[in-house]
Structure formats: structure tokens, C-alpha cells
Structure 1
Amino acid sequence: MLSNLVKNNFYRDSVFLMSLSNKINIIDGVNDSSVMMGTDANKKLLSETGFLTKEGEKASSGDMLICINHKENAGVKEILSKIEELLDAPVDLGGSSAAEINMPEDVDAALEIQPLSNIAVISLPGGYVEYQAKKLLARGINVMIFSDNVSVETEINLKKIGASKELLVMGPDCGTAIINGVSLGFANVIRRGKIGIVGASGTGIQEVTTIIHKNGEGITQAIGLGGRDLSVDVGGIMMLEGIKMLLKDENTKVICLISKPPASSVENKIIEFLRNSKKPFVVNFLGRAPQKIKLKNVYFESTLESAALKAVSIIKKTNLCRTGVLNKQLKEIVKREKSLFSNRQKYVRGLFSGGTLCDEALFILKKSVCELYSNIAHDPVMKLKNSKVSYKNSLIDLGDDEFTRGVPHPMIDFTVRNKRLIQEAKDPETAVILFDIVLGYGSHPDPASAILPSVESAGKLAKKSGRHISFVTSICGTEQDPQNLEKQKKDLENAGVIVLPSNALSAKFTEEILN
């Protein structure tokens, strides 16, 4: 049965909506739920997926729309009452009460309370972002725009204003940054150090910063840009601004640049800007062949891991071992896994929560794996016709918009990935199921416990039909993250999952199995 609850004039950002949906799903009697703002586009989607009732149709764009699929004999009043309790629960303010902080209603009131603030996070419906961002920039405040659905024209305008004032405009759709040691959005606990990062990639920043941390170094800043900054239209405005800021920072000794494939003209502009730099740069533009041009103090790396290790090597004045090549022990594991497959098993199925991690695996595997398909393939020929059904070798970005409309992101909720994992295990040609685990603020509090029941069920299903599936993963996180990195690793390995130290190495390991 369906019930809809409309909360008038109750805007909350996507992280809150995802978290609320997660909590609603564990209420006794609830089968499933979807929590969205009541925009026309969202209502259309909810109608198509069978979640919308006549009550829900009344919601407007500023209203929160809570849609519940519940058991027929469930007490609807009790369920709705528990949801109201969740909505009324006090926000965690780090030990202070709302009364003590005197929660401000607008930017001006906030600055009266904290006049020394110099950065603000904007998480509003896209149409309201420009007005508030301009107001903040006029007051000399750097902004991180978590919101999506902001036009390219607005992004360009805001970034030009920011650059003219030497202020950061991170975003729109910027989900990760670490500024002065404070993690914003989806980010990990990283020690302070001497490496500065500018990145147009959320999980790319997370992968690089965690590997830097694990190798004994730390960062000064990790400046997120949003996914469009290195497009032809935006032209890398904020990457250049971030570089300038880190060049002026005395504590930053090495600068690392990260991005999915940028527009060629923008890439050339960035590289040209680095030509006369006195500080060393490490550049990882995924999918780009190493630059033939040799620039003093500029090092081009092909993976997120090698970029992180190169940056640490420069600081420590040593040459850290590149783990992109399998050692003898891993080669023995590859040999063992291959010996357990049936004759029909020959394909990899990748289920990723991080878009950049999926991208990196694609670039590594496509060098030697034929017929590699994806919902985010850069070659249109290799794009899956139906993202919900794998074909031959397939890597899926489950964090892509088509999978996250109306449901929590797979870093938070493993439901979609778990169902897909079982689906892939039923295919007699599946040999490897490759996936990522991302720790840190905003992610699931215990990812191993969320995915292992499905891994174990998939393993039993395969064994019953005389097959063996290799489950391969890497953990993007640090020992200081709230999820406890070592516990996650131990739990996964105890269940038979092969855990590699980086996303690049897990892709390389998979490549060896398939070959």
C-alpha cells in the first residue's frame, strides 16, 4: 500500500533526504520509501515508479514529499508518527544546542554570529543558488555549492566573480572538499601535511587523499571544483584560481591536480599555466595519455594511486614503490582464482558507488579487456543500451543520476547494489564481481555489514551451480574514519573478499584474472 506525506515549505538537501529515506526504510511495516522535494520533475519520476498518490500530487517545489510503500496491515498512523519524530529530532550541533547557537535565518544573521567566517556551504534548490552565492561573494566569503541543477551560465558567472575577488567557488555539484583540515561533504579524515589538491572529482579527491594519508603524509587543502569546471564552457576558471591560491600558500610544497578527462583546450591551458611554476605539480587527468611534452617540475601520472604516491615521494625525497604491478603473492591468488572458474565464466561485472573510481577502472581494463561496456563509457559504441542489465564485461556507476533519482546514493544505502550483485551472480558467465567501498563522513556507517550478506548469498548461489565467483574490492578510507578501516578490511577478507590497497590495483588484479 502507498501513503504520501507532504511537509509544506520544508526544504532539505539531498544528503538529508537520503539519510531520512534510510531511516524510514527500517521502520517496522515499511517495505520501501522515497523522499524528494516536490518539484514537477520529481513528481513525474515518482508517478512513473508507482510511488505518487493524489495527496503527493499537491506538493510544490518547496515542499518535502515523503512516499511510503508499506505492508497492508501496517499501522499507517504509527509509521507517520515515527517519521514526524525523525523530522523533529534535534540536529547534531557538536555538543551545542540550537538555543545556544541561535540558529540564523539568513546570511546576514549568520555573519553577525560568526563575523570571521570566510567560507559557506550552499545546499539549496538550484534556482536559488545564484542569489545567495552572489550575496556571499560580495561579502568576501568563499562558497562551496553542494546543489545541482544550476545552469552552466550561472556557474560561469559565479566563478568569474569569485576569480575577480580571489575567492573560491567550489561547485555546483561539489560533494567533496577539505579546507583547513575540515572535511566538507563526502570526505575522509586526513592528517595535515604539505600537499595541496585541486580536483574536479569527488571520489578522485577521496582516493588520492586517503593514499597520501596511508603513506605517512598529509594535505594542506583539497579544493573541489564540481564536475564541469574543466569543460569547454567553464574553461577551468576555478582550477586556475585554486592553483594560484596554493602557489601563494607557504605550507603547500607540492600541488596535485585531479580530473576526469578534461576538454583538450582546457587541459592545454592548465598545462601552459604550469610551465614556469616553481612548485612541483603532479597531474592526473584520467584517461589521458602521459604528456609527451616535458615540463620542469610537472609530473604526469596515469592513476589516482600513482599520483598520490608521486606527491608523497617528492615530499619525502624518495621513490615509493608503484603497486600497479602485481607482486608474487597476488599473482598466486590470481592463479588460484582462475583455477576455480567453470569453462563458461569469463566476464567482470563492476558495481561502483564512486563515478571516478568506475572511470579509472574502465581506463585500466580497456587496454586489454575486449568488449568492455558501461553506463558512463566515453565511447558511445561501448555504452550499455540498458544500464540495468549488464552485457559481457560491464562496469556500472551506480552513483550516476539514473540510479539515484528518488533513492539514496549507493555510498549511503547499499540496497540497489546488493540487488544488482545477486543479479550478476546468477549469470553463469560472471567470473569477477568488482566493487568499491568508500568510507568517511556521509558514507554508510558500516559498509561491510551492508554488503556481506549479499556477497555470501551470491557465493552460495554460484557454488550451488558448480561455479566460483571472485569478489574483488578496495577500501577508500583511513584508520581515522568513523567506520574503522581495519575492521572493514578484516570483515570483508574473513568473508572471502579479495581486498586490494587501491582502486587501480583492484582493476589491475581483475585484468590479470580475465587474461
Structure 2
Amino acid sequence: MAIRALLKRNTYYDSITLMSVAQAVKDLPGVEDVGVVMATELNRELLHNSNLLPVAFLAKQETTPGPEDLLIVVRTIDEAHAEVALTVAEKRLTSPGDRGDSGARVGVRAGTLVEPYLEGRSAGSLEIALRRDKTANLAVITVAGEHAWLEAEQALHHGLHVFLFSDNVPIVYEQQLKALALRKGLLMMGPDCGTAIINGVGLGFSNVVPRGSIGIVGASGTGMQQITCLIAAAGLGVSQAIGTGGRDLSEAIGGVMMRSGLEMLADDPQTEVIILVSKPPAPRVAHELLAAMRLAKPVVVVFPGAVPEQFAVSGNVHLVRTLTEGAVLAVSLAGGDPSRVPGKSTPLMYDLTAERKKLASSQRYIRALYSGGTLCDEAMLLLSERVGAMASNIPLRPEWALAPGEMYRGHTALDLGSDEFTRGRPHPMIDPRLRLQYLARAAEDPETAVILLDIILGFCAHQNPAAVYVPAINQARATATAVGRSLQVIVSLCGTEGDPQRLSMQRTALEAAGALVFESNVAAALAAASFVSDADTSATFQAEEIDHD
């Protein structure tokens, strides 16, 4: 076995590029494992835990590599294969057209809403791109967070709408960027905007869904993905899905881009029903946004965990508390069949009572490992109502916060896509290695009854998550079996049949490994609760059913 490394100082690549290169190298003959990461302390720890840390190589460096440095590490069967692997990795990084994607870049021409087109040539700078096509009016930015705001500001000054995928942008810069966009009448989608679909073209993490009459504006990337996939499963489609970035409804930002997105959808002739979705909003901002909402089109507002008594809504505005409920109501308002939205009947596919009887008396807790923040929030809200306190890195209450270095405490839900886990590292939707480590630790814990995962398909996500998670699920269940325990794994699977990974193919593989698979995150969370709650299972699911026929 050989471990070889290559260090490129002051060199940055976005997480999508790093993951595509890592996957290509891992597929080479003789390669056992590979890491292509920015050399943050957290990433070096991840390499260490994966038996990939090049200790001797790092000891020879004059200074310890940091977040601004790119570290490539390969573990191979011998030195010759290691040399080939490093050469291929470097070549793919320096040859944009050879990174495993189409080489396409998205630009936009003016229209009622921004209208995407594809430009096959990459450009080294914004100025070069604009010289190539002076009619482009959208910039997609994925550079490091500390630099991203400068690029976004420059794009706005050039009159471009901005899709800012980068996270870890200080909130003061987000305030400045959105104020500038508002003055110029532009969309500032982000920072940390993971998802958008503009006139049928997906940006960032997005799924293949049909065009239709339901428009979405969201301060939640995975929330929008869940809703668009549920709508597609019901046979309807999406006109536009405008992302705002997860902090848009915070006290500091005040819903600036949410208001702009609502105005655009109100004016869009293809949009007949509007969905507004957000992570739990700041109460004052939510109240002001709802009070100012005077649209002729029906609007479904999805605030996780919200109840009508919290917010005053009137006219065409409908408030719901879960993503599934939002999809059901929007499909009904758009003239579709809400019974086709996944979530109501799927729990009946499995005998949850029989599965629960297999658990040992020590198995009392749910361990939820999420890549989507809104999906994690939604699961925690539903679970806490049924099983009590949910410890988390994004806690619903301050007293439920995990202490530094604490992995699990009782019922636990982790958002592994939050900033502290993605600084200098690919998002877990792209690179699942960190989550696999947490999964293995949960399986070893004799108190773990259920492991709850979200797996999200679509563009930019891992090209075949089942190929990674099936062996991990098999190992986790074998770990429990070896000491006389049963372990249940529940998967909230978000995707469509049109996605590159194919929903049905992923479901079949995961179920073959013994996982219980739900397309509705609500159904997945309630199924998990049924394993550790004394409440009647059928009653639990009935309580969350919403009938808008």
C-alpha cells in the first residue's frame, strides 16, 4: 500500500469540482481511496479518520497547509499506481473540460424572468465572459466564501442577476449585496443558495422536474427540492423556483429577496400558484412579510412547525407546517390530484410494528444524519413533538444544543450541511464520507434504535449515492447484529425518475440493503418516531395527513 500526496498552495476549487475529480481518480485501477480537499483542520481530521492523512508528507512542509491550500491524497496498492493517480488528478484540475462535467456555464438573456442559455466555453473572469456575450444577465458564483462577495458585487454592478452558491459569506456582505440588488432591480440569489430552476434550467442542486404552473420562492435549497420532487410525483410541474439563500428571512436580512421573488412570480404569466418556503423564519420578518402579501394568485406559505395561531393570514394566503403539506395544497390549488403526492400511503408499505419488536431494550434513541438543513428542521419539529428533546448542532431550543466535540446525546439530529461542516469541504450531498463516519459511530452505539438519513438526488449531487450508502448500511446492520441487536435505517429519498441517479434505481438498491425508504421527509420522520414512541403508529401518521380534495 502507498499513500502519496500533492499540495498546491493558494489554490481554490469549488466543492463540485473537487468531488468530480476525486470520483474520477477513485475509479482508476489500483486506487483504494482518494481525498481532494481544501486543507482545513477539519478536512485533515477527516483524512486522518479515513486513513488518508499523509503524515510524513505534511511533516516535510515548512508551514502547515491551511484553508487556502489544496491537498490531494491517494491511497493505492503501490507507488506506481499512486503516481498515475496524482497525475490524473492534477490534469483534471487544470483542464476545465476534463473535470467530468459538460464544461457548460450558465448565462442568462433578458426576459420576463431571467432566461437561461448554455455557453460551452469556460471563462477566466467575469469581464471575459461578458465580452463573449454582452446579452448575458446572470452570473453563477461558486468561489470561496471570503472572496465570493467581491465577485457578486462586481456582477451586480455589471447589471447581472446573481446565483451565489458559495457559503461562509459574512452576513454584513449579504446585507450590502441584497441592498445593491434591490436598488438595481436584480435578483441576488444567495449567498448559500443551493437551488434554483429558472425557465426549466436547474442551477446548483436541482432535480429534473416538468414545467408547469406552480412557482416557488425559497430560503431553503433542500426544502425547494423536496417540494419540486413531490409536485413532479403528482404529475404537475414547476414554472420557476427562485432561491434566496437560507438567511433571507433572518432578522438581519429581513426577507429582501423573498419579496422580490414574490413580485416576479406574481407578474409571471406561467405561474398560477405560488409556494413560499423557508427555514424557520425570524418572527418579526415573517409577520411583516405575511401582512404585506396582497397577491391575486394563491400563495402557500411553508414555515416548518408553524401553526395558524402564530401568524395572521388572509385572502389567498395559506399557511402550512410541513413541506409535504405544502406540496399537497399547491397541487390541489393547481387543479391536480393531491392523493398522488407521496406521503400518505407509503408508511403502509412496511410493517413498522413488527420491525419495532426486533429492538433490544437498550435501543431507545433516534440518530438523524441530514445533509439538508430544512429537512433536518422539519424532522426535528415532528420528532420533538413525539419523543421529546432533540439534541442538535442547529437546535430548536438553546438547551438542546450539542456541546463542542459531542456527537450524540439522546435523540439527536445533525445538519451535516451546515457551515461548520462544509468550510473547505464538499457538501455531504456531494461527498458523503463525513456522514459515513457518523453513521458508523451511531451503529456502534448500543442505545441507537434508528438511523435516519436524507439522500438527495439531482444535478451536482453524488452520481450514485446507493453505491456508497448500501455498503455502509449493510456494515451498520452487521455491526448491530454481531452484538445481538437489530438496527433500522430509514431513508428520506428526494429525487425524480428523470434525475441522473434515477429515483427507482436508488430506492431498489437501498431497500435491498434493508432500509425503509420514503419520498416524503414527513413520512420518514414519523416512521422513525414510531420505533421509539409509545404512540400508536397508525394514529401518528393519521395526525399528519392533510386532505385537500
- Shared fold per TM-score greater than 0.5: yes
Q: 1:85 to 1:140 in 2, by over 3 A?
A: closer
Matched AA of 1:315: A
Secondary structure at 1:120's aligned position in 2? strand
Verify the 8 A CA contact 1:6 1:56 in the aligned structure 2. Answer: no
What residue number does 2:380 align with?
A: 362
Verify the 8 A CA contact 1:369 1:514 in the aligned structure 2. Answer: yes
Counterpart pick for 2:86 among 80, 83, 96? 80
Q: Tell me whether 1:256 sits opposite 2:275 in the alignment.
A: yes
Q: Tell me whether 1:66 sits opposite 2:84 in the alignment.
A: no
Verify the 8 A CA contact 1:4 1:55 in the aligned structure 2. Answer: no
Verify the 8 A CA contact 1:310 1:320 in the aligned structure 2. Answer: no
For the residues of structure 2 that align with 1:437 and 1:509, how far apart are their CA atoms?
16
Matched AA of 1:452: V
Verify the 8 A CA contact 1:198 1:243 in the aligned structure 2. Answer: yes
CA apart distance, 1:234: 1.1
Secondary structure at 1:144's aligned position in 2? strand
Verify the 8 A CA contact 2:16 2:430 in the aligned structure 1. Answer: no
Secondary structure at 2:79's aligned position in 1? coil
Q: Tell me whether 1:117 sits opposite 2:117 in the alignment.
A: no
Verify the 8 A CA contact 1:350 1:395 in the aligned structure 2. Answer: yes
For the residues of structure 2 that align with 1:24 and 1:173, how far apart are their CA atoms?
28
For the residues of structure 1 that align with 2:120 and 2:209, how far apart are their CA atoms?
28
For the residues of structure 1 that align with 2:150 and 2:346, how far apart are their CA atoms?
55
Q: 1:408 to 1:320 in 2, by over 3 A?
A: same
Q: 1:287 to 1:408 in 2, by over 3 A?
A: same
Q: 1:115 to 1:370 in 2, by over 3 A?
A: same
CA apart distance, 1:306: 0.8
Give a deviation string over 1:258-306, Cα, whole Å, max 9, x none. 11111111111110121x2211100011233334534011111111111
What residue number does 1:425 align with?
A: 443
Q: Tell me whether 1:304 sits opposite 2:323 in the alignment.
A: yes
Counterpart pick for 1:189 among 177, 187, 208? 208
Q: 1:292 to 1:113 in 2, by over 3 A?
A: closer
RMSD: 3.0
CA apart distance, 1:385: 2.1
For the residues of structure 2 that align with 1:417 and 1:96, how far apart are their CA atoms?
30
What residue number does 1:454 align with?
A: 472
For the residues of structure 2 that align with 1:375 and 1:96, how far apart are their CA atoms?
36
Q: Tell me whether 1:234 sits opposite 2:234 in the alignment.
A: no
For the residues of structure 1 that align with 2:403 and 2:146, how far apart are their CA atoms?
32
TM-score normalised according to structure 1 size: 0.89
> Which region of structure 1 is more displaced relative to structure 2, 488-497 or 18-27?
18-27
Matched AA of 1:255: I
Verify the 8 A CA contact 1:56 1:65 in the aligned structure 2. Answer: no
Q: Tell me whether 1:389 sits opposite 2:407 in the alignment.
A: yes
What residue number does 2:417 align with?
A: 399
Q: How many residues align?
A: 506
> Which region of structure 1 is more displaced relative to structure 2, 341-350 or 260-269?
341-350
For the residues of structure 1 that align with 2:173 and 2:519, how far apart are their CA atoms?
40
What residue number does 1:444 align with?
A: 462
Consecutive unaligned residues in structure 2, runs of 5 or more:
106-118, 534-549
Verify the 8 A CA contact 1:361 1:507 in the aligned structure 2. Answer: yes
Matched AA of 1:494: A
Counterpart pick for 2:520 among 486, 499, 502? 502
What residue number does 2:300 align with?
A: 282
Superposed counterparts of 1:209-220, under 5 Å: 209-220=228-239
Verify the 8 A CA contact 1:30 1:68 in the aligned structure 2. Answer: no
Q: 1:500 to 1:60 in 2, by over 3 A?
A: closer
Q: 1:289 to 1:74 in 2, by over 3 A?
A: farther
Verify the 8 A CA contact 2:229 2:494 in the aligned structure 1. Answer: yes
Verify the 8 A CA contact 2:280 2:304 in the aligned structure 1. Answer: yes
Superposed counterparts of 1:172-187, under 5 Å: 172-187=191-206
Give a deviation string over 1:127-150, Cα, whole Å, max 9, x none. 443443333223321111112332
CA apart distance, 1:491: 1.4
Verify the 8 A CA contact 2:26 2:33 in the aligned structure 1. Answer: yes
Q: 1:204 to 1:342 in 2, by over 3 A?
A: same
CA apart distance, 1:11: 3.3
Secondary structure at 1:222's aligned position in 2? strand
For the residues of structure 2 that align with 1:379 and 1:271, how far apart are their CA atoms?
24
CA apart distance, 1:194: 0.7
TM-score normalised according to structure 2 size: 0.84
For the residues of structure 2 that align with 1:410 and 1:457, how far apart are their CA atoms?
19
Verify the 8 A CA contact 1:174 1:227 in the aligned structure 2. Answer: yes
Give a deviation string over 1:10-46, Cα, whole Å, max 9, x none. 432222123334444556456553421x7xxx37974
